[in-house]
Each structure stands twice: as structure tokens, then as C-alpha cells.
Amino acid sequence: MKTKFNNFIVLTMFVIIIVTSFAGCGNSGLKEAEKSHVKTRIVVDALKRKVEIPEKVDRVVPLANALRMMCYAQAQELVVGVEKGEKEKTLVKAYNWVNYDVWKGLPVVGEGGSGGYTPYVEEILKVNPDVIICAYAKEDAEKLQEKTGIPVVAINSGNLFEDDYDESLRIIGEVCHKEDRCKEVIKYIQTIQDDLNNRTKDIKDEDKPSVYSGAVSFKGGHGIEGTYQNFPPFMAINAKNVFKAKGKSSKGVVIDPELVLEMNPDIIFLDPNNLKLVNEDYKNNTKFYKSLKAVQNGKVYTMLGYNWYYTNVEIALADCYYAASVVYPKQFSDVDPVNKAKEIFSFMLGSSDYYKQLDKEGFGFGKITIGE
């Protein structure tokens, strides 16, 4: 009797193991079966990873700068979830302000912003994307793909006028079936870069006014002491930047305000987002500001910040033309910077009204009187 009972226990356990195994295999097999019915293709991402994705992509989760680039690619309708920061309509992020209605009702699938990125794995699984596109490091991209079982295509964070930006646009075009549009965007940016360079490359340094960009934003807003070394818009127009460094890399730095006075640039550009900080400082350091040549001569101008959660390329391009029209009025006499900005915003984002809104909120192009 005992032997029969033991045999029964063993048999029962065996059946449970078999059933459980088949249940597990059944789920896995279903997924594999589903995959076997879906035609796939291989894309090589920015990390040189070969990623297998569905031949037809209809649902995308964009993370860490991918959403902006998808808007440039006119692929925003494929988006099924966004990062938390995109749930607030923000004027300084042009792509967000223009396309907010497209994703305002979509689920939040991650954290993003200057503090870093954190994908919400469970929320991503709920929206069931065909592909995740992100500007993640290799380890993070692979970890996310492993956790979700969803193809993760990595792009570069992207720098203005650099090859890595072109590469990222090409990858997004390939993934989202927007190759032609992305080629147009790449060509458009290159045409602007060539135009800016061709108009300014032969001007001698001694014939150029010196320039400085202050009150910039990086990890928060700054006063006049906040600047960028090798400021890309200045590099694009071959400007005589008083604060430059060897090489081409650009980064935000905070310098001693006295250094600004020591360099004493002919022209100063300030980000209107942070003008309040400058005006507050002016109350306590009026003598310092009145000692600046640019202030004395009425040569202080706006320069809208374009680095808000990565590079807002359309704003940077518009800034380039405005700065060029101020620094080189003769060479850019045929360019109306406001109309050029409207053209750029219309091409990149499909909205010529964006500049009108910027101007309405006090972020448009123009002279600044510090202290007012």
C-alpha cells in the first residue's frame, strides 16, 4: 500500500512537472510562433548592433531624444507612449509645443530629462510597441531589450552639424519607413551649414566684432557668467568668439564674471529664458554691467537657448541666422532672420506659427536693455 502511495506521489509530481513545462513552452512557443509569422528585417543602430525588427513598424516607444527626431522625420503618429517630461506642453522645446496634442493622451513610459533616463518596463510592455528607439548607452539598451523582449534600436544623442546627428536621422528613417523625409532633413541642415559657412569663411578676424554668449542653460539656468565654450552657432558662422577652446567640443561652463569684463566683447547674446537672473544681478552690480562695451553701445541681443533635453536643432539653426545678421549685417543683408526662422520651423516641424508664439512670450529676436 505504501509503495502504491509513493508511486502515486511520484506520478503526480511527474505530471505536474510535465504540465508546467508544457505550459511554459506553450507561452514561449506562442511567442515564437507569433514571431515566425512576422516578417522581419535587420537594422544596424548607432552602437553598431544588428537589431532584428518587424518589417512593418506601426508602434514605437521613443526614449531620450528619439521623440524629437521622430517629429523631424514626421513619424510622430507612430508613438504609443512618451516620457514623463513630454506630458507638459513646453514652449522652449519646439517639437513638444508643436506636437503636444499628438501625445498628450498617451501613457507615460519612462523618466527623462537632464537628470538621466529611466524606462518604465511594465508600462512599455502595456503599450506593446514594435520597436523602442532610444539614445541609450550600449549596456542600458541591451538591458532594456532583455527585460522587455522588444527590439531596442539605439541612436546618438546628436550634436548640431555633426555626423552622428545625420546617422541617427538615417536610422530613424529606416526604422519608421521615413527614409525620404530624413534624407530631406539631412540635406536641409547641410544646406544651411554650407550657406552660413560660405558667407563668412573668408572674413578676416580683424574685420569681425568679438562676441560672447551668456545666460545659457545647462543643468539649470545661469546669469551672464554661464556660457558655452566653442558655442556651436558661433562656430557655424565663423564668429570671433571671446570664449573658445582648442578642438570642436562644446560644453557649458560657469566663468568668473570679471573674465567677461576682461574679454569685453563687442556684442553679447543672452538667452531670454534667463534674463531675469541677469536683471537681478544688475541691481547689485550695476557698475560691472555699465563697464561692458556691448552694454554701453547697445549691442546686447537675444539668443534663445536650444539645449532643452538635448539639441532643438530648429531653434539652433534659427539662432545661427539671427546671430549672423547681427554680426555680419552686410553679408546677410538679404536675410530676414524672422522670416528665415519661420521657414526653418515650418520645414522641420510643420509650423510657421511657432516663432509668433516665441515672440509673444518675449523670446523673439531683438535687442536687450539689461536692467529693465
What dihedral angle (degrees, nearest 10) is formed by the CA atoms of 16, 17, 21, 23?
10
Which structural domain range is residue 46 located in? 40-177
Mode of pairing for the β-strands spanning 251-254 and 226-229:
antiparallel
C-alpha cell at 16: 505536474
In this prediction, what percent of the chain has a pLDDT beyond 90? 77
Q: Are residues 46 and 126 in the same domain?
A: yes
Say if 25 falls within a structural domain: no
The three-state secondary structure class of 167 is: helix
Say if 238 falls within a structural domain: yes
Q: Are residues 78 and 150 in the same domain?
A: yes
Model-level pTM?
0.88
Q: Which pLDDT band, with edges at 50, 70 and 90, does 308 fall under?
A: confident
Q: Name the amino acid, one letter, at 267.
A: I
Residue with cell 510622430: 76
Q: What is the pLDDT of residues 60-114, one digit of tens each?
A: 999 998 999 999 999 999 999 999 999 999 999 999 999 999 999 999 999 987 6
Report the number of distinct structural domains present in the chain: 2
Residue 352 to residue 239: CA distance in whole angstroms: 28
Q: Are residues 111 and 229 in the same domain?
A: no
Q: CA neighbours within 13 Å on the CB side: how many for 270?
A: 29
Q: Are residues 234 and 315 in the same domain?
A: yes
Residue 162 to residue 46: CA distance in whole angstroms: 14
Q: Are residues 213 and 141 in the same domain?
A: no
* CATH for 262: 3.40.50.1980
- Residues forming beta bridges with residue 26, ordered by sequence position: none
Residue 156 to residue 115: CA distance in whole angstroms: 18
Whether the per-residue pLDDT at 258 is higher than 80: the answer is: yes
Non-local CB neighbours of 157 within 8 Å, separated by 6+ positions: 64, 65, 135, 164, 310
Q: Which residue among 177, 194, 214 closes a domain?
A: 177
CA angle 10, 11, 16 (to 5 degrees): 100
Q: What is the pLDDT of residues 99-155, one digit of tens each?
A: 999 999 999 999 987 667 899 999 999 999 999 999 999 999 999 999 999 999 999
Say if 187 falls within a structural domain: no
Q: What is the pLDDT of residues 237-250, one digit of tens each?
A: 999 999 887 667 77
